[in-house]
Amino acid sequence: MISPAIDKLLFCIWHHQPLQKAHSQHRYITEVCMRVLNECKSRYIPTIRENKFVEDLHRVERKLSNQLSFAAMKMFREPDKAFSYFHYGDSALSIDVGPIQVSCTALQGTRPRMEDTVLCSILTLNICGREEKAYLTAIFDGHGGSTYSRYLEHSFAKHLQNEINIIGNERRSLDKVTIWNALKLTFVHMQKKLLERLDTPAPRGGSTAIVCLIIQEQLWTACLGDSRAILVGKDNCVQLSEDALPTDARYLKSIKKRHGMVERGRILSKKVSLEPARAFGDFDVPGVSQRPKITVFPLMLSDVVILACDGLWNVAASRQIAQAIQQRVDISLSQLSNDIANSAFISGSRDNITVVAIKLRPPPSR
């Protein structure tokens, strides 16, 4: 229990208000409290920002536009890599999920175990009595084991659906503000759920995520880490996400705000080092954030969306994958994902390789 005098003192320090009639004892307490509160601010203000609800539509639209610009800049600056396209035949898993077709190929590669998981789900949204369907696809790329990626595979869809329904009904709208905040807060709250549900102490490791949500023919992408999504049209390519790496000045600034330390392009802790700047889990690595970068883009019938973990992007640039797809417009979606994943392995990728291809199905003829 804090005494009224100390409580008032803390209030004045926090709000930078002058103290009246401060004597030596108060000055000593002031100095101590100031050091403690400055430390608290530096540690918890980033957390406050992550949990903050952004109500202003113009601000949300500006964030979406800026993030799409950052992703486009990364694609423009990315050099070509060792990727070469090879044909491996039609052997990938392909399913129809509502109006979209989804195909997935997952290779363990040379790693001792498979740590990637894939999620494909239909969300039922109920906003003010009106039912709406949303189509969710995601790749969770685990590191240090598959504990976190497997938990996310089974829990993420339910939490996102609940978050959209809660925010949408509070605001009585399924607009950009609702979806943007629901995606962001789902990522932040999932980190808390991971800490609550998993063993104590939490197991070492974590997971990145690339999430695509299709609502009303709008493609929402939320990225955490170094997995990536691109949209390939007949004559264009749009990179929908950017890799969150400590070598990027924007992410380096965020890491330092959270008392993280970067050396040789990796976030350091006492026992491990981490390459992506943002990820789920990794409770023993200071400086890691769970706030995703979010974009939205219209989805057309002719577009193909590729989601993949860093096992592909380590050996392929976005434009190389886009060119390979545009030169093979007649092949099936399952053949496409299978060819891209196996080509990445032949091109030198030694990581787990997971590739998901998504396409809108034409409406049934009447």
Q: Is residue 239 in a domain? A: yes
Is residue 365 in a domain?
no
**Is 174 among the domain residues?**
yes
Instruction: Give the pLDDT score at 44.
Output: 43
- Arithmetic mean of pLDDT over the chain: 87
Residues in CB range of 274: below 8 A, 6 or more apart? 143, 206, 266, 267, 282, 285, 288
Question: Do 184 and 87 share a structural domain?
Answer: yes
218 in the same domain as 308: yes
According to DSSP, residue 289 is labeled: B
> What is the average per-residue pLDDT within 110-127?
96
Q: How many domains does the chain have?
A: 2
Q: Are 217 and 297 contained in the same domain?
A: yes
Computed on alpha carbons and rounded to an integer, the radius of gyration of the chain in Å comes to: 23
Q: Is the pLDDT of residue 224 over 80?
A: yes
Looking at the structure, tell me whether residues 309 and 343 fall in a common domain. yes
Structural domain contains residue 241:
yes
Same domain, 30 and 146: no
Cα 152 to Cα 29: distance, rounded to the nearest angstrom? 46
33 and 69 both lie in a single domain? no
251 and 277: one domain?
A: yes
Q: Is the pLDDT of residue 223 over 80?
A: yes
- Give dist(CA 275, CA 254) in Å, integer: 14
* 170 shares a domain with 137: yes
Answer whether residue 47 is part of any domain: no
pLDDT beyond 70 at 7: no
At 100 the pLDDT is 93
| pLDDT band with cut points at 50, 70 and 90 for residue 21 | very low
280-291 mean pLDDT: 91
- Tell me which residue range forms the domain holding 22: 4-42
> Above 90 in pLDDT, residue 329?
no
Sign of CA dihedral 150, 153, 155, 159: positive
- Token pair for 41: 């601010």
Q: Which residue has the higher pLDDT, 283 or 223?
A: 223
Query: Do 124 and 8 belong to one domain?
Result: no
Please report the pLDDT score of residue 1 as a whole number: 44
Domain containing residue 146: CATH number: 3.60.40.10
Cβ count within 10 A of residue 166: 13
Is residue 366 domain-resident? no
Report d(CA 224, CA 251) in Å as an integer.
12
Q: How far apart are the first and last CA of the chain?
A: 72
Which segment of 32-41, 264-273, 313-322 scores lowest on mean pLDDT?
32-41
Looking at the fold, whether 216 and 242 belong to one and the same domain comes out as: yes
Model confidence at 41, in pLDDT bands (50, 70, 90)?
very low
Pair 136, 29 in one domain: no
When pLDDT is cut at 50, 70 and 90, the band that residue 201 belongs to is: low
Per-residue model confidence (pLDDT) at position 204: 84
**13 shares its domain with 116:** no
